[in-house]
A and B are shown apart, each in its own frame.
Chain A
Amino acid sequence: AQKVTQAQTEISVVEKEDVTLDCVYETRDTTYYLFWYKQPPSGELVFLIRRNSFDEQNEISGRYSWNFQKSTSSFNFTITASQVVDSAVYFCALPNTDKLIFGTGTRLQVFP
């Protein structure tokens, strides 16, 4: 069965620190996608990235970067030089046919 584990419940950092959010997944599929979403206090889930299991290259988008390692079933997310606006709950997700299976989320608090 599909499963996503986000072991870090809450992380607190001071602005400008780098922070890495961990995601470990389980799947029997040979090809699959992985997702990260951000949920700010307003509640809306904001799509951040979709990664295909074929592509293990790291991806960088501005201050965000993702490290996908199939060998360890991990898809970690790093925010460089964190800002207060990064404060949110971050979810890693894995599709199970049509629906998304979400991890329990990591609450990130960035203090000024």
Chain B
Amino acid sequence: EAGVTQSPTHLIKTRGQQATLRCSPISGHTSVYWYQQALGLGLQFLLWYDEGEERNRGNFPPRFSGRQFPNYSSELNVNALELEDSALYLCASSYSGADTQYFGPGTRLTVL
């Protein structure tokens, strides 16, 4: 069974640009989560999508947004990139909001 996949692996942008990160969950999983792992800040919850709806978001500004498609894949958009947005962005999926979360390999975003 294929695991969670994320693309791209690496992304380099400049300040002010927009970044789009993509995630495909494990087959059968309807929930997708996004986490940010920035240097020195640990793993922080960003967003949770389930059945196409945003169910919860962490303490991040509105320029972090996303969506979940009918096939349960998800996209994370970061607008007006700032240097401190440089981080590893991890996507996870689960059967439901209360189940074990399985993580993808991450997208490393570098903002110059």
Q: Which A residues are within 8 Å of any B CB, using their own CB?
A: 35, 37, 42-47, 50, 91, 95, 97-102, 104-105
Residue contact A100 to B45, C-beta cutoff 8 Å: yes
Q: Which B residues are within 8 Å of any A CB, using their own CB?
A: 31, 33, 35, 42-43, 45, 48, 55-56, 58, 88, 90, 92, 97-98, 100-106, 108
Task: Name the A residues within 8 Å of B55 (CB-CB).
Answer: 98
Query: Which B residue sits closest to A42, measured CB to CB?
Result: B105
Task: Name the A residues within 8 Å of B58 (CB-CB).
Answer: 99
Residue contact A98 to B98, C-beta cutoff 8 Å: yes
A contact patch SS: strand
Alpha-carbon distance A46/B105, docked complex (angstroms): 9
Alpha-carbon distance A97/B33, docked complex (angstroms): 13
17 contacts between A and B (CB under 8 A): A35-B100, A42-B105, A44-B90, A44-B104, A45-B103, A46-B103, A47-B102, A98-B48, A98-B55, A98-B56, A98-B98, A99-B48, A99-B58, A100-B33, A100-B45, A102-B43, A105-B43
- Minimum CB–CB distance from A101 to chain B (whole Å) comes to 8
Task: Name the A residues within 8 Å of B45 (CB-CB).
Answer: 99-101
Task: Name the A residues within 8 Å of B106 (CB-CB).
Answer: 43-44
Say whether, besides A98-B56, A99-B58, A105-B42, A43 and B105 are in contact (CB < 8 Å).
yes
